[in-house]
Amino acid sequence: MDVYLEVGAKRMFAGALEWPGWCRAARDEGSALEALLAYAPRYAAALKGSRLGFEAPTDLRVVERLPGDATTDFGAPSAAPNIDAEPMTEADLRRAQALLRACWRAFDAAADAATGKELRKGPRGGGRDLETIVEHVVGADAGYLRMIGAKAGAEQEAGPEPMRAAISTALASAVRDGVPPSPRGGKRWTPRYFVRRSAWHVLDHAWEIEDRIED
């Protein structure tokens, strides 16, 4: 399966070109690719029932390397592979929305499983609680919407479901009408990169919750 690498000074991300959300980080290339393969079953589980046809590969092929930046080293992917510059068709939009819905279901399932349970703290006693993680994901989605020229108003305060409806509407508008330029000349994302970044963030926190549930 074709993958890309985003290479920072301290951290590296490996991501599947055709499967947004399946993206993992490590300190070096070999470890990043290892981590990506290790998470293939979890990604398959997240997409189960979506009819998207994901099958975990046994081998990966690096076809693109991208320079990372401070965001990469901080712990979030920041560079868009070349494929994300391509326009999306209506079929692409339907696939992207189905993929996002699958990621949201995976996050909700993790949150439901953690409800009423303690989340394991980090080695220094840190780590967000469940409610704060959910709020963080919704808040990040509001920020992501601005990157395709949309705004989240009351949806951000109303919780995940209204925010997801706003995302679906904004993504469709971005695909059909184009992403409007920033009034101040700031950076915008393509629809494909929006899906890639949003799917990664939702699944990253879904898996964090799963890993931190106290036995």
Mean pLDDT in residue range 2-16? 97
49, 94: one domain: no
102, 78: one domain: no
What local confidence, expressed as pLDDT, does residue 156 receive?
65
97, 194: one domain: yes
Question: Is 80 exceeded by the pLDDT of residue 184?
Answer: no
172, 189: one domain: yes
* Residue 183 structural domain: 86-212
73, 29: one domain: yes
191, 138: one domain: yes
Question: Is 60 exceeded by the pLDDT of residue 197?
Answer: yes
Q: Which of 83, 111, 144 represents a domain boundary (last residue)?
A: 83
17, 122: one domain: no
What local confidence, expressed as pLDDT, does residue 183 receive?
78
Q: Which of 35, 67, 83 represents a domain boundary (last residue)?
A: 83
Q: Which of 83, 104, 138 represents a domain boundary (last residue)?
A: 83
44, 103: one domain: no
d(CA 178, CA 171) in angstroms, rounded, equals 10
79, 164: one domain: no
133, 183: one domain: yes
125, 144: one domain: yes
Number of domains in the chain: 2
Mean pLDDT in residue range 74-89? 96
90, 75: one domain: no
Question: Is 70 exceeded by the pLDDT of residue 124?
Answer: no
